[in-house]
Amino acid sequence: MVFARDTELNLLAAVELVNTARRRDGHDAMATVADVDGFFTRWGYTGRHDRDDAEVAHVQAARARVARLWEVDRDEAAELVNAMLREADATPFLVRHDAVDWHLHATAPGASLGTVVVVETAMGVVDVVRSDEYERMKVCEGEGCTAVLVDLSRNRSRRFCDVNSCGNRAHVAAYRARRAGTE
Protein backbone atom coordinates (compact mmCIF):
# COMPACT_ATOMS: atom_id res chain seq x y z
CA MET A 1 0.00 0.00 0.00
CA VAL A 2 1.44 3.34 -1.07
CA PHE A 3 -0.91 5.57 0.93
CA ALA A 4 -3.34 5.05 3.79
CA ARG A 5 -6.32 2.93 2.76
CA ASP A 6 -8.83 5.82 2.85
CA THR A 7 -6.49 7.96 0.73
CA GLU A 8 -6.22 5.22 -1.89
CA LEU A 9 -9.99 4.71 -1.93
CA ASN A 10 -10.62 8.45 -2.31
CA LEU A 11 -8.18 8.63 -5.22
CA LEU A 12 -9.62 5.55 -6.94
CA ALA A 13 -13.17 6.87 -6.55
CA ALA A 14 -12.00 10.16 -8.09
CA VAL A 15 -10.48 8.27 -11.02
CA GLU A 16 -13.75 6.44 -11.63
CA LEU A 17 -15.70 9.69 -11.40
CA VAL A 18 -13.47 11.58 -13.84
CA ASN A 19 -13.44 8.67 -16.27
CA THR A 20 -17.24 8.53 -16.43
CA ALA A 21 -16.90 11.39 -18.91
CA ARG A 22 -13.83 10.06 -20.72
CA ARG A 23 -15.05 6.79 -22.11
CA ARG A 24 -13.98 5.87 -25.62
CA ASP A 25 -17.62 5.12 -26.53
CA GLY A 26 -18.66 8.69 -25.62
CA HIS A 27 -21.21 7.51 -23.04
CA ASP A 28 -21.45 9.68 -19.91
CA ALA A 29 -21.58 7.11 -17.13
CA MET A 30 -22.61 9.73 -14.56
CA ALA A 31 -25.71 11.09 -16.26
CA THR A 32 -28.56 9.56 -14.30
CA VAL A 33 -29.75 9.18 -10.74
CA ALA A 34 -29.04 5.45 -11.06
CA ASP A 35 -25.43 6.21 -12.13
CA VAL A 36 -24.88 8.42 -9.08
CA ASP A 37 -26.57 5.89 -6.82
CA GLY A 38 -24.27 3.13 -8.08
CA PHE A 39 -21.20 5.32 -7.56
CA PHE A 40 -22.35 6.22 -4.04
CA THR A 41 -22.83 2.56 -3.15
CA ARG A 42 -19.68 1.21 -4.86
CA TRP A 43 -17.38 3.59 -3.05
CA GLY A 44 -19.07 3.39 0.34
CA TYR A 45 -19.97 7.03 0.67
CA THR A 46 -22.00 7.89 3.74
CA GLY A 47 -24.20 10.81 4.58
CA ARG A 48 -26.66 12.70 2.47
CA HIS A 49 -27.74 11.12 -0.80
CA ASP A 50 -30.66 12.95 -2.43
CA ARG A 51 -31.23 10.67 -5.44
CA ASP A 52 -32.49 13.45 -7.72
CA ASP A 53 -31.48 15.33 -10.85
CA ALA A 54 -30.04 18.21 -8.83
CA GLU A 55 -27.64 15.78 -7.18
CA VAL A 56 -26.61 14.42 -10.59
CA ALA A 57 -25.80 17.96 -11.73
CA HIS A 58 -23.85 18.65 -8.53
CA VAL A 59 -21.83 15.44 -8.89
CA GLN A 60 -21.10 16.29 -12.54
CA ALA A 61 -19.85 19.73 -11.42
CA ALA A 62 -17.72 18.00 -8.79
CA ARG A 63 -16.35 15.74 -11.53
CA ALA A 64 -15.16 18.75 -13.52
CA ARG A 65 -13.40 20.22 -10.47
CA VAL A 66 -11.78 16.91 -9.58
CA ALA A 67 -10.64 16.31 -13.18
CA ARG A 68 -8.68 19.54 -13.06
CA LEU A 69 -6.26 17.90 -10.60
CA TRP A 70 -4.90 15.74 -13.44
CA GLU A 71 -4.32 18.78 -15.66
CA VAL A 72 -1.93 20.69 -13.42
CA ASP A 73 1.47 20.31 -11.81
CA ARG A 74 2.03 19.60 -8.14
CA ASP A 75 2.25 23.24 -7.04
CA GLU A 76 -0.97 24.21 -8.78
CA ALA A 77 -2.62 21.07 -7.42
CA ALA A 78 -1.77 22.26 -3.92
CA GLU A 79 -3.50 25.57 -4.64
CA LEU A 80 -6.57 23.81 -6.06
CA VAL A 81 -6.77 21.45 -3.09
CA ASN A 82 -6.51 24.36 -0.66
CA ALA A 83 -9.33 26.15 -2.48
CA MET A 84 -11.51 23.03 -2.48
CA LEU A 85 -11.03 22.53 1.25
CA ARG A 86 -11.47 26.22 2.08
CA GLU A 87 -14.69 26.58 0.03
CA ALA A 88 -16.24 23.58 1.77
CA ASP A 89 -15.14 24.72 5.25
CA ALA A 90 -13.51 21.31 5.54
CA THR A 91 -12.52 20.24 9.03
CA PRO A 92 -10.81 16.84 9.15
CA PHE A 93 -11.94 14.43 11.84
CA LEU A 94 -11.49 10.74 12.49
CA VAL A 95 -14.50 8.45 12.17
CA ARG A 96 -15.15 4.75 12.35
CA HIS A 97 -18.36 3.34 10.93
CA ASP A 98 -19.76 0.18 9.42
CA ALA A 99 -16.88 -2.22 8.79
CA VAL A 100 -14.37 0.58 8.15
CA ASP A 101 -11.76 1.30 10.81
CA TRP A 102 -10.59 4.82 11.70
CA HIS A 103 -10.34 7.11 8.69
CA LEU A 104 -10.77 10.77 7.85
CA HIS A 105 -13.89 12.67 6.93
CA ALA A 106 -13.85 16.43 6.52
CA THR A 107 -17.40 17.52 5.71
CA ALA A 108 -20.42 18.11 7.89
CA PRO A 109 -22.89 15.19 7.98
CA GLY A 110 -25.45 17.10 5.87
CA ALA A 111 -23.04 18.06 3.07
CA SER A 112 -24.13 17.26 -0.47
CA LEU A 113 -22.60 14.28 -2.23
CA GLY A 114 -20.86 16.58 -4.70
CA THR A 115 -19.20 18.44 -1.84
CA VAL A 116 -18.21 15.20 -0.12
CA VAL A 117 -16.63 13.91 -3.34
CA VAL A 118 -14.64 17.11 -3.86
CA VAL A 119 -13.44 17.25 -0.26
CA GLU A 120 -12.56 13.56 0.02
CA THR A 121 -10.66 13.75 -3.27
CA ALA A 122 -8.87 16.85 -2.02
CA MET A 123 -7.98 15.04 1.21
CA GLY A 124 -6.51 12.18 -0.84
CA VAL A 125 -4.53 14.55 -3.02
CA VAL A 126 -3.18 16.25 0.12
CA ASP A 127 -1.29 13.03 0.86
CA VAL A 128 -0.10 12.72 -2.74
CA VAL A 129 1.27 16.27 -2.71
CA ARG A 130 2.75 16.04 0.81
CA SER A 131 4.60 12.83 0.04
CA ASP A 132 5.95 14.22 -3.27
CA GLU A 133 4.22 11.45 -5.22
CA TYR A 134 2.29 13.63 -7.66
CA GLU A 135 3.74 11.79 -10.66
CA ARG A 136 1.38 8.96 -9.68
CA MET A 137 -1.53 11.06 -10.97
CA LYS A 138 -1.41 10.24 -14.66
CA VAL A 139 -3.33 10.53 -17.89
CA CYS A 140 -3.63 7.26 -19.80
CA GLU A 141 -0.95 6.71 -22.44
CA GLY A 142 -3.37 4.87 -24.73
CA GLU A 143 -3.64 6.33 -28.20
CA GLY A 144 -6.40 8.95 -28.26
CA CYS A 145 -7.36 8.30 -24.63
CA THR A 146 -7.86 11.08 -22.08
CA ALA A 147 -8.86 8.90 -19.13
CA VAL A 148 -6.97 9.33 -15.87
CA LEU A 149 -5.42 6.94 -13.40
CA VAL A 150 -3.57 6.84 -10.11
CA ASP A 151 -0.53 4.62 -10.30
CA LEU A 152 -0.43 2.74 -7.00
CA SER A 153 2.13 0.22 -8.21
CA ARG A 154 5.39 -0.07 -6.28
CA ASN A 155 7.55 0.82 -9.25
CA ARG A 156 5.27 3.55 -10.68
CA SER A 157 4.97 1.63 -13.96
CA ARG A 158 1.25 1.80 -14.64
CA ARG A 159 0.55 3.50 -17.96
CA PHE A 160 -2.99 2.67 -19.01
CA CYS A 161 -6.50 3.28 -17.71
CA ASP A 162 -9.02 0.62 -16.83
CA VAL A 163 -12.06 2.25 -18.40
CA ASN A 164 -11.11 2.00 -22.09
CA SER A 165 -9.08 -1.24 -22.20
CA CYS A 166 -6.07 0.74 -23.38
CA GLY A 167 -3.55 -1.73 -21.95
CA ASN A 168 -5.13 -4.56 -23.91
CA ARG A 169 -5.23 -2.43 -27.05
CA ALA A 170 -1.54 -1.58 -26.70
CA HIS A 171 -0.56 -5.20 -26.11
CA VAL A 172 -2.57 -6.40 -29.12
CA ALA A 173 -1.04 -3.68 -31.31
CA ALA A 174 2.46 -4.63 -30.16
CA TYR A 175 1.73 -8.31 -30.79
CA ARG A 176 0.44 -7.60 -34.28
CA ALA A 177 3.47 -5.42 -35.02
CA ARG A 178 5.80 -8.22 -33.90
CA ARG A 179 3.89 -10.75 -36.00
CA ALA A 180 3.98 -8.48 -39.05
CA GLY A 181 7.76 -8.15 -38.62
CA THR A 182 8.31 -11.92 -38.64
CA GLU A 183 6.30 -12.64 -41.77
In a domain, 149, yes or no: no
Sign of the C-alpha dihedral, residues 96, 101, 106, 109?
negative
- For 53-64, letters b (16+ CB in 10 Å) and e give eebbebbbebbe
Q: How many domains does the chain contain in total?
A: 1
The model's pTM? 0.92
- In the three-class reduction of DSSP (H, G, I as helix; E, B as strand; rest coil), residue 179 is classed as helix
High-pLDDT (> 90) share of the chain, %? 83
CATH number where 52 lies: 1.10.3300.10
Domain that holds residue 54: 5-139
pLDDT tens digits along 160-180:
999 998 988 777 877 777 778
Could you tell me if residue 153 is inside a domain? no
**Residue 150 main-chain phi, psi, to 5 deg:** -120, 120
Cα separation, 113 vs 104, whole angstroms: 16
Provide the β-strand partners of residue 104: 94
pLDDT score recorded for residue 68? 98
105 located within any domain: yes
**Any domain includes 82:** yes
pLDDT confidence tier of residue 2, bands split at 50, 70 and 90:
confident
Q: In this structure, is residue 176 part of a structural domain?
A: no
Q: What is the 3-state secondary structure (H, E, C) of 7-42?
A: HHHHHHHHHHHHHCCCCCCCCCCCCCHHHHHHHHHH
78: in domain: yes
Q: In this structure, is residue 132 part of a structural domain?
A: yes
